[in-house]
Structure 1
């Protein structure tokens, strides 16, 4: 996608990957000379006991913590404001995020507000965060969102009923402790949805108009890992190899999309999440085959390479046949994992499609999609995915 002489930047946090990485939290808190951490999580993760287990060594080391767990899926602007007030009132000097994409996105946004003195919604867009956030350490508990290593932060603007994208260098955490053992408690449905999110990240990064040889490397590897490990992780949650493979897939897809950005699938999914509060991973999984089919004619060779990474035999297949085969493979893969077969399962009224399409076209992710869609074309994609 990119020219041979095009400059590209690659940004990533310090990452410690492997079973037991979570136990290095106290070490890194000390490395940053933190004395009082705001721990951002959600009630589901907190109920597993993981949060208490991780902050106990901090207390033993003399580090204070304040827990903020008022975070929902698709985190809201009001939750960010409340979390920021807790951070400031408690005189915290660092942030620890423990959870999936929602707590990590919320933690990023809380940090922006705390150091910039501006409302979370003012950071919408690219490079709108002027002052660095406080030191931030992420411990992901899902394998798919890659919020622990990306420069993206997604927040629900509840007044406009849209999901805003904050894309900034300041959104990259300082350290990610990526521990596959933290994902063992994920139920099968969440494992499937977050895994399909990782697959979508990889597909969209690979065909992005600002991809690079470096992001390509990670994107193709992520596709191979998802194909190899996701179904096993869903059906056998305690499979060590599958859980590690999916955590690596999530990380590699994150390296790809954080630097190459995304495309129409995410723009359309963000619109569904903002207006209907729909689950992000499921939306991506349903929409991906349709957007791939619509984009295919623009970058057929890129999709041929993605299909090969997905395990398809593409050597003697014409483009006309390949696009339909890839569409079918992606749909079948999702359905084998229990992903909804269409958007109708979201209890969505078809009358809202024009509004969904309009919002999707305003999303920052649409800018790097390889094909430029019209309002009518995006409406048609929503209709097809119904």
Structure 2
């Protein structure tokens, strides 16, 4: 049976130089008395573009570490409760968005009401379009990033403007684009190629790769724009690509690349945006049989290569050309921890590991070894 599940999002607004106008109209989307969730690096952006238009904001909360640790979620909830917040403005990347969703959910558990969220994303992973979020549990013998899916936490409004990402550090911005591609590719896991996710995801991946394949080495975004190597339209293309790659997140189930990333990030502290740079291409190759001919939709012309090989090679080539980390060793990950990673994956995500086929445990150990 085919199905399409939609999330309760009221609007997506995109364009150039729209931040001040949209910020002044947030009340039209039920965003009133908000607390602004962000990080210190983005406070200047908030002061210039968001806060002047949001006249009823009740505060700002910036204590949001990566990987959304449970104690930060509790602190964010207290900030909202103490200030009588009725909503959240989330200005930041995936961790800020996940924290806002987690706080909205906990607020519901305590009060019976979710806090609506307006998302101003500064990275390209696409968390702002989904109801998924992860919280890293820190009170046990081993940290673990637990995943949640709560449709009421999907941001009510999403705003896309190149100004949001022009100052995002180069590695974070570009690696989050690979995470966005990961959403498109692994979203194929349980659907067929005629599903709306597949059609939009294929367009999103091509949109991403077309821009990333021309992106200059080493230069930050401001320098690249100043030299005429990329432009503001390219930045908006990346933002729209992230949306297309994650257009129907309630309708898809993700796979082994995501799960490896959750373990590497939540338990071992690796930057979440970087994990797909290391995991996605090897997982595409290793799980090709489980996906069958579904990767064909991402390959307009591949020569003599299989669709999986073509797609994996193209992604790996972009990771290399952008000088993003392609191996765990480049992030100083201890190779001796690989069996621990494998054990967590097998115990927590057996169905995703099973995509590797017969002798999945042996293959998992081998693929993790290849990633190091």
TM-score clears 0.5: yes
For 1:134, the equivalent position in structure 2 comes to 115
CA contact (8 A) 1:205 1:211 kept: no
CA distance in 2, matches of 1:33, 1:204: 33
Counterparts of 1:1-386 in structure 2, within 5 Å, are 5-11=1-7, 13=9, 14-23=11-20, 24-32=22-30, 34=32, 36-46=33-43, 48-59=44-55, 63-117=56-110, 131-142=112-123, 144-159=124-139, 160-209=142-191, 213-232=195-214, 237=221, 238=225, 239-308=231-300, 313-314=301-302, 317=304, 319=306, 323-363=308-348, 367=352, 371=356, 374-386=360-372
- Structure 1 pair 370–223 and aligned structure 2 pair: CA distance change class (3 A): farther
Unaligned runs of 5+ in 1: 119-130
CA distance in 2, matches of 1:283, 1:172: 24
Q: Quick check: 373-382 or 237-246, which moved more? A: 373-382
- Structure 1 pair 74–91 and aligned structure 2 pair: CA distance change class (3 A): same
1:310-365 CA-to-partner distances (Å, cap 9, x unmatched) read: xxx23x5264xx54444333222211011113111222222221221232345569
Unaligned runs of 5+ in 2: 226-230
CA distance in 2, matches of 1:203, 1:93: 36
CA distance in 2, matches of 1:333, 1:140: 23
CA contact (8 A) 1:197 1:285 kept: yes
CA distance in 2, matches of 1:8, 1:336: 36
Q: How many residues align?
A: 357
Provide the aligned C-alpha RMSD in A. Answer: 2.5
CA contact (8 A) 1:183 1:243 kept: yes
TM-score, normalised to structure 1's length?
Answer: 0.85
CA distance in 2, matches of 1:211, 1:51: 44
CA distance in 2, matches of 1:111, 1:67: 16
TM-score, normalised to structure 2's length?
Answer: 0.88
CA contact (8 A) 1:202 1:256 kept: no
